[in-house]
Amino acid sequence: MVSFSKTIAVVTGGGSGLGRALCLELSARGAVVYAADIDEPGAAETARLASDERAADAPCGDAATGFVSCGDVRAVPLDVSDPSSIRALLDRVAAEQGRLDLMVNNAAVNVIGLTADIPLERAQEVLRVNLLGGMAGCTLALARMAEQGTGLIVNVASAAGLLAYPTTAAYTASKAGLIALSRSLRAEARHHGVRVTVACPGVVDTPIYGRQAVHGMDRAAYRRLLPSRAMDPRRAARIILSAAARGREIVVFPLTVRLACLLARYVPPAARLIRARAVRGFRAARRDG
């Protein structure tokens, strides 16, 4: 599965951002990919972009990067907050392909603001999509992969789940839970010949920052608090797939995030100061907004 050629894959949240990048990278490596998203036009656009790449014959057949052939991306509707929707999709994949090699649980939503300012219903939605949706995807995919005796599950978490970043409490909790779920599941899945990798990227240039609800301040003011440079989603996708192909348990990137995680682990007072500074910055921007 190192090259992902002829792999049968499902990518949730495949209609935009990192999910789209993962679909395109997998297709370029010769996989058949189901781009699954509640945003059906977005998933259809992912499939169209993959088709355009195949027509341009790029980057297919590049031996230097491990690409062997272009695969196929198929847009499918999916609501990850509904386990029956996930089950129906996996039933379709089994009927059409006869197996499931790779399940990427990537779909996520976010809500920004101080916890006291965020309606509880919005926070619960984040947990329902990010954590419970990921758990359902893992559980249902593992059941099918266990029957095959092989498979790979990749959960896309976030560095926020390791760093406990403030003003995103529900998102941070959901991603921390997904990391713990992945590490626990990895120990169980080995018995069935199934591998589990969890990815913890830093800020990736995706539409989530434009779509997420912001409470207590102007969206433009919040955007100014984010790092000026975000990682290209295609590069992030390559890092994740490379780590998963090598059987890594957890992949944290880029280097600045790995260093921040080390700081949080070994110098807790410094990490607390950084969190406090982030909260002060949010409060100041809220007043300015």
Of 34, 171, 209, 222, which is the active-site residue?
A: 171
Are the C-beta atoms of 183 and 234 separated by less than 8 Å? no
Q: What is the DSSP letter of 38?
A: S
Helix or strand holding residue 73 (H, E): strand 72-77
Among residues 151, 157, 161, the alpha carbon closest in space to that of 192 is found at 151
Pairwise CA distance, residues 211 & 108, whole Å: 11
Bridge-based pairing of strands 8-12 and 102-105 is parallel
Distance (Å, whole) CA 134 – CA 110: 14
* Cα–Cα dist 276/72, whole Å: 47
Phi then psi for residue 202, to 5 deg, are -80, -145
**DSSP code of residue 32:** E
Contacts of 227 (CB under 8 A, 6+ apart): 202, 203
- 34 is a catalytic site residue: no
* Phi, psi (degrees; rounded to nearest 5) at 153: -115, 125
Exposure string (b/e) for 67-89, b if CB count within 10 Å is 16 or more?
bbebbebbbbebbbbebebbeeb
CB 152 within 8 A of CB 244: yes
Give CA–CA dist 260/158, Å, rounded. 13
The residues annotated with a catalytic role in the active site are 171
